[in-house]
């Protein structure tokens, strides 16, 4: 077998490495911020029934406009942000929010264009940029990985990007992002501003999200996913809310029928049960807060988190700790930040197993 660099591959892909969180089968998997609670059995049955219905017409292409799914997602977001008054035309969906982000870059980025992000942040933002030939510009964060309105404004003024990627709360640090910073980024830029809200449901529920900023901002896109809070990672459903013109632009680059009839049926059924699907979010927040308290007691330096994971510093040898936990069948994440590791808040039992193992090291 040849090395891929021997193939006539695009020059700008030479030397890159693919996304690669390990997929070991372990007892306690706390490495990719999944919701580790399985979905309720009666909900699972209803989803299966819907898929069974959809498969009877799978000889035909699915609804290319996934209208029922967009209506369901609009209803879901309107529950959370009633003032947004979103309709199906404000919503777009794809096979995971990663595909949504890719379509955004295909339409608004590409060769000769730039996207500004603020590492350490979600690694796929720069990887999808590379895949679409969009030049990634790495901005810098403030103290403790925060991002002030002044800092984003300065970076946007200095680099004049075609797109700005913000992550709220940020992965892998868990850091909240204020609406003021998002407003400042929008005001300072001429381009598309994407707020990746993959973990929005884990933030304090009384606070508004970037969805509340959409009105009157046609270059603002809020991306969401059913992979995390919704416990639907394996189904691959991500979506965005934005001005309807954004969906019109994405129709130019999406593949026809990109959301299968089975995916659409499964997601619509899951959204019918949104309260049950999200029932464990409160529990996960509790485990996250417990992780922060207990990691501190163990002498580590956990960062504040509004997500379902905790990044903690004070780790002398992250690789050694990672390996020692893996030996006990516990998988967490070394995200490449010196002296830090990231752990997902799992069930109470999983969190206990992790904390006890760490305490023994
Ligand atoms: C997990 C994650 C996603 C989710 O990607 P999907 O493709 O929807 O599974 C998106 N953004 C961030 C920041 C994430 O951490």
Q: CA-to-CA distance for 95 and 115, rounded, in angstroms?
A: 22
Q: Which pLDDT score, from 0 to 100, does residue 20 have?
A: 77
Has residue 177 got a pLDDT over 90? yes
From atom 3 of ligand 1, which residue's Cα is the shortest distance away?
198
Using the mean position of ligand 1's atoms as its centre, give its distance from the Cα of residue 322 in Å: 23
* pLDDT tens column, 4-31: 888 999 999 988 888 877 788 899 999 9
- How much helix, strand and coil, in percent to the nearest 5, is found in the chain? 45, 15, 40
Best CATH choice for the domain 41-272 from the list 3.30.70.100, 2.60.120.580, 1.10.260.40, 3.40.640.10:
3.40.640.10
Q: Probe ligand 1: pick from 94, 101, 124, max atoms within 8 Å of CB?
A: 124
- Contacting residues for 317 by C-beta, under 8 A, at least 6 apart: none
Mutation to probe ligand 1, out of 35, 100, 120, 198 (largest number of atoms < 8 A from CB): 198
Q: Which of 19, 166, 236, 238 to mutate to test the pocket of ligand 1 (most atoms within 8 A of CB)?
A: 238
Write the residue with the smallest CA distance to atom 11 of ligand 1: 198
Query: For residue 167, how many C-alpha atoms fall within 13 Å in the half-sphere facing its CB?
Result: 29
**Does the domain formed by 22-38+276-360 have CATH 3.90.226.10?**
no
Residues with CB under 6 A from ligand 1: 33, 96-98, 122, 167, 171, 196, 198, 225, 227-228, 233, 238
Report pLDDT for 163: 98
Q: What is the DSSP string of 250-319?
A: HTTTSPTT-S-HHHHHHHHHHHHTHHHHTTTHHHHHHHHHHHHHHHHHTT-EEPP-SSSEEEEE--S-HH
The structure's pTM equals: 0.97
At 21 the pLDDT is 76
Output 21 or 262, whichever has higher pLDDT.
262
For residue 1, the model assigns a pLDDT of: 83
Could you tell me the strand order of the sheet in which 309-313 lies?
301-302, 309-313, 341-344
Q: Which of 287, 209, 212 is nearest to 37 (CA)?
A: 287
Residue 233 near residue 206, CB atoms below 8 Å: no
Q: Answer with the residue of higher pLDDT: 21 or 341.
A: 341
86-104, pLDDT tens digit by residue?
A: 999 999 999 999 999 999 9
Ordered by start, the domain boundaries in the chain are 22-38+276-360, 41-272
At residue 265 the predicted structure's pLDDT band, cuts being 50, 70 and 90, is: very high
pLDDT at 5: 83
């Amino acid at each position: 077998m040849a090395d891929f660099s021997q193939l006539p591959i695009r020059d700008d892909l030479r030397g890159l490495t693919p996304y690669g969180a390990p997929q070991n089968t372990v007892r306690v998997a706390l490495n990719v911020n999944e919701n580790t609670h399985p979905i309720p059995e009666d909900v699972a049955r209803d989803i299966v029934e819907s898929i069974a219905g959809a498969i009877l017409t799978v000889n035909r292409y699915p609804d290319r406009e996934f209208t029922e799914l967009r209506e369901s997602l609009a209803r879901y977001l309107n529950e959370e942000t009633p003032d947004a008054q979103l309709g199906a035309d404000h919503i777009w969906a794809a096979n995971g929010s990663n595909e949504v982000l890719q379509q955004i870059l295909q339409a608004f980025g590409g060769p000769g264009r730039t996207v500004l992000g603020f590492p350490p942040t979600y690694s796929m933002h720069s990887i999808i940029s590379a895949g679409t030939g969009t030049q990634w510009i790495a901005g810098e964060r403030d103290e403790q990985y925060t991002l002030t309105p002044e800092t984003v404004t300065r970076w946007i003024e200095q680099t004049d990007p075609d797109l700005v990627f913000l992550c709220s709360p940020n992965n892998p640090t868990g850091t909240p992002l204020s609406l003021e910073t998002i407003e400042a980024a929008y005001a300072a830029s001429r381009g598309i501003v994407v707020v990746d809200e993959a973990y929005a449901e884990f933030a304090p529920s009384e606070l508004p999200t970037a969805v509340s900023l959409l009105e009157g901002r046609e270059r603002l896109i809020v991306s969401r996913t059913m992979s995390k809070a919704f416990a639907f990672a394996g189904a691959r459903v991500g979506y965005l809310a934005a001005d309807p013109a954004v969906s019109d632009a994405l129709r130019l680059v999406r593949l026809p029928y990109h959301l299968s009839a089975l995916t659409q049926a499964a997601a619509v059924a899951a959204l019918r049960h949104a309260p049950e699907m999200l029932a464990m979010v409160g529990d996960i927040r509790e485990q996250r807060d417990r992780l922060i308290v207990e990691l501190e007691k163990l002498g580590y330096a956990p960062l504040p988190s509004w997500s379902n994971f905790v990044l903690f510093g004070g780790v002398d040898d992250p690789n050694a700790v990672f390996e020692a936990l893996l030996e006990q069948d516990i998988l967490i994440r070394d995200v490449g930040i010196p002296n830090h590791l990231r752990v997902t808040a799992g069930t109470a039992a999983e969190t206990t197993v992790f904390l006890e193992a760490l305490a023994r090291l």
